[in-house]
Amino acid sequence: MYLITVEGGDGSGKGLATKVIAEVLEKEFCFTSVDVTSEPRREHPLGRLAIDAVRTKTTTPEGEAGLFAADRVDHSHSWILPRLEEGKIVVSERNVHSSLVYQGIVGNLGVDRVAHMNSAALIPDLCVWVDCDPEVALNRIKSGTLRVHSEKEEYFETSELQKQIRAGYQQLLSGKIEMPTPFDMGAVIGPVLNEGTEDEFKRKLKLRIRRFIHSHPSPLNVDTEIVEQHLIRKLLQVAKGQTMLTGLGVKPAVNHSDWLAGSKPWQVLNGAEKLHQNLSRTREGGRIDVPKSVLAHSISSICGTLSLLSSANIGDLRAGQGPVRAVSESHSHKIVRYLAEELDWIHQHKSLLGRDSTRNQLKDPVQPFGILSLVIWPLRNAIRKWQIVNPNTHLRFVIGQIIRSQQHSVAVENTMQRLAILGAGKSNGKLPTTTKELVEWWQGSL
């Protein structure tokens, strides 16, 4: 879902930074996978052309920049973008900022000119700027620990060149030189200085990456709804292939063609809300450790994800949530415990020791709400706001009034697309293809 790039001079520690960033993302977050790459691509013909142009010095600066741009644009759309759309995160050692510095500033082509040549490439969601004194970097290079490819020698010929490169990064990434459009949309963190111990460098990197992901920025290159629909299809495929787990009492997921189980959509949501709110009111002053609404991110995410999994421990659950519906591990434990022990919505099977080994299964009566929460996910916030503004209006009118407001047309369209994936909830039920039919489906008359 995000493209994270690692930039800096030769020998600054970009390779180590790339590895550390990938490890923390893989271990702590809910991306479907973390894929690592680099530019220029040494195993691709376009990347080889760019590398050869630098090594042989037979190409004009503009021609060299064009070769790097051609490799980047192809890399962006043939390799990186499909992965982002699947909910993966890509960490790239070098990307467009390298060209802006090497050819645009050091090579005197100008950053605007180089940016224009790369304008069809993806925009890094985050650029991690690794900084290091050129003398320290050259000593690392000369020690042989960084010289994996002999042709890289062309990139770090002299200390003077490295000083120019470092100055170029400082000018561009600190804001002294204005970042050209469209690459001014991405975030930059740094400089992350790499002149101390390796442990200190790793600690600084992990802290900044966590801060970025926890801020939940909107991805620049993909629509989160595309990511979500891909992951829902993937969960459905897994659900269809699930079989009885002998000895665990876990059965396959319910028949998804009739997931409303004879109820109307508004009735499903209304019933879930009443159960949750009634339980909260039984506590003096109400519960403060769980959301007030079942449409809150955590409850909707957990119930929706479990509705497509026959059973799951917390690790499985978080993997199924993906990056858009992600709930932190600690909060997942808390909400699952509430849903199991107090609402009695989840059956838990504790056959092994350790809290992460507990298998969680959404009970049959709650399956309709689980799948419904996935269907109306794009409209969750609009529905909640409507409930606050219209506390005395019947819930069956909410979708019609949201549609008439004309403020959520994209979310409405996304909801109909999700219905096309998950089904209308009734055997042989008609899928709504217009806003009028969506209202009829919500009210149970379609």
Write out pLDDT tens, residues 50-102: 999 988 888 888 999 999 999 999 999 999 999 999 999 999 999 999 999 99
pLDDT at residue number 350: 76
Write out pLDDT tens, residues 176-195: 999 999 999 999 999 999 98
Of the pLDDT bands very low, low, confident and very high (cuts 50, 70, 90), residue 279 is confident
- Are residue 286 and residue 398 in the same domain, yes or no? yes
* Listed residues 161, 193, 214: the one ending a domain: 214
Average pLDDT over residues 103-119: 96
Average pLDDT over residues 194-204: 92
Phi, psi at residue 229, to the nearest 5°? Answer: -65, -35
Higher pLDDT: 140 or 177? It is 177
| Token pair 């002149």: residue | 195
Beta bridge partners of 130: 192
Question: Which tokens in the block code for residue 181?
Answer: 């459009």
Please give the residue range of the domain that contains residue 96.
3-214
| Token pair 């479907």: residue | 32
- Are residue 120 and residue 233 in the same domain, yes or no? no
Sign of CA dihedral 173, 174, 177, 183: positive
Short-list 296, 390, 279, 395, CA closest to 344: 279
pLDDT at residue number 253: 43
- Percent of the chain at pLDDT exceeding 90: 77
pLDDT at residue number 126: 98
Residue 244 has pLDDT above 90, yes or no: no
Question: Which tokens in the block code for residue 191?
Answer: 């400089």
- Are residue 258 and residue 389 in the same domain, yes or no? yes
Quick check: 244 and 250 in contact, CB under 8 A? Answer: yes
pTM of the model: 0.87
| Token pair 């973008």: residue | 81
Of 33-42, 54-63, 118-127, 286-295, least confident by mean pLDDT is 286-295
What is the C-alpha separation between 335 and 317, in angstroms, rounded?
12
- Are residue 139 and residue 245 in the same domain, yes or no? no
What is the C-alpha separation between 288 and 65, in angstroms, rounded?
57
- Are residue 403 and residue 270 in the same domain, yes or no? yes
pLDDT at residue number 356: 57
Of the pLDDT bands very low, low, confident and very high (cuts 50, 70, 90), residue 255 is low
What is the rounded average pLDDT for all residues in the chain? 89
Phi, psi at residue 335, to the nearest 5°? Answer: -70, -40
Residue 139 has pLDDT above 90, yes or no: no
Q: Does a structural domain hold residue 219?
A: no
- Are residue 115 and residue 171 in the same domain, yes or no? yes
What is the C-alpha separation between 275 and 293, in angstroms, rounded?
10
Higher pLDDT: 310 or 317? It is 317
Based on the structure, what is the number of domains in the chain?
2
Of the pLDDT bands very low, low, confident and very high (cuts 50, 70, 90), residue 246 is very low
- Are residue 172 and residue 239 in the same domain, yes or no? no
What is the C-alpha separation between 219 and 101, in angstroms, rounded?
24
